[in-house]
């Protein structure tokens, strides 16, 4: 089974930095409140769907991190260098600064929590939202997990034509329909 393809449309108008920061502050506050509730109930059974923590220590560390995120949310872009350096080191651990930068630039991990924000694309310096009709398996599947986002019909067709060993289940009508409907969209993999 290959990697899912996800079609996104560009958000218009683009959210301001202030709107994004406000949404994140609200999200972090909700997460802090949830963490405090778990700590007060002492509910740490990781196998239970009602708790995301294995131990009290883990919950306390998460609470500390979330409070730091809330306090430093406005400065997340200042930590891009930390993020890039942590990725280069490739030891699997991100510093708290790099983690905050990643959170503010990979909004898809929050699902509806920061609606309508979804994904930030550094190449276009823009935010995108998932489309309802062009997701998962209805355009094509790609086995190349390192594939960068696709920003045009031309890039998409080139990928399909040049990678017949890693791309399958191609529905060229859906691909063309997507690019006709969202010429400034993008296709992501995941």
How is 122-148 classified by DSSP, letter by letter? Answer: TTTTEEEEE-SSS-TTSS-EE--TTPP
- Report the number of distinct structural domains present in the chain: 2
Q: What is the mean pLDDT of residues 7-19?
A: 84
Interval 48-72 mean pLDDT: 78
For residues 103 and 139, state if they share a domain.
no
CA distance 169 to 48: 37
Give the pLDDT band of residue 75 (cuts 50, 70, 90).
confident
Q: Given 128, 156, 172, which residue is the final one in a domain?
A: 128
Residues 6+ apart with CB under 8 A from 99: 65, 69
pLDDT tops 60 at residue 183: yes
Average pLDDT, the chain: 79
Is 58 found in the same domain as 100? Answer: yes
Q: Is the pLDDT of residue 132 over 70?
A: yes
What's the rounded Cα separation, in Å, for the pair 34 and 163? 45
Same domain, 57 and 98: yes
Asked whether residue 90 falls in the same domain as residue 175, the answer is no
Yes or no: say if 134 and 178 are a contact pair by the CB < 8 Å rule: yes
Please check whether residue 101 is in contact with residue 76, taking contact to mean a CB–CB distance below 8 angstroms. yes
Backbone angles phi, psi at 25, to 5 degrees: -60, -40
Task: Please compute the mean of the pLDDT values over residues 130-141 and round it to a whole number.
Answer: 77
Which structural domain range is residue 124 located in? 17-128
| Range of lowest pLDDT (47-51, 52-56, 177-181) | 47-51
pLDDT of residue 172: 93
> What number of H helices and E strands is found in the chain?
6, 6
């Amino acid at each position: 089974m290959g990697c899912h393809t996800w079609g996104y449309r560009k958000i218009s108008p683009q959210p301001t930095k202030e709107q994004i920061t406000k949404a994140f502050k609200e999200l972090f506050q909700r997460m802090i409140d949830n963490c405090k509730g778990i700590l007060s109930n002492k509910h740490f059974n990781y196998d239970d769907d009602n708790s995301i923590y294995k131990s009290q220590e883990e919950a306390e560390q998460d609470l500390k991190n979330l409070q730091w995120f809330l306090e430093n949310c406005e400065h997340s872009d200042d930590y891009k260098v930390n993020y890039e350096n942590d990725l280069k080191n490739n030891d699997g651990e991100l510093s708290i600064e790099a983690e905050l930068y990643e959170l503010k630039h990979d909004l898809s991990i929050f699902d509806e929590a920061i609606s309508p924000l979804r994904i930030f694309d550094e190449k276009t310096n823009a935010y995108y939202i998932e489309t309802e009709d062009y997701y998962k398996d209805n355009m094509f599947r790609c086995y190349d997990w390192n594939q960068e986002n696709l920003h045009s019909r031309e890039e998409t067709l080139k990928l399909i034509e040049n990678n017949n060993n890693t791309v399958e289940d191609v529905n060229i009508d859906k691909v063309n329909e997507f690019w006709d409907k969202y010429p400034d969209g993008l296709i992501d993999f995941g």
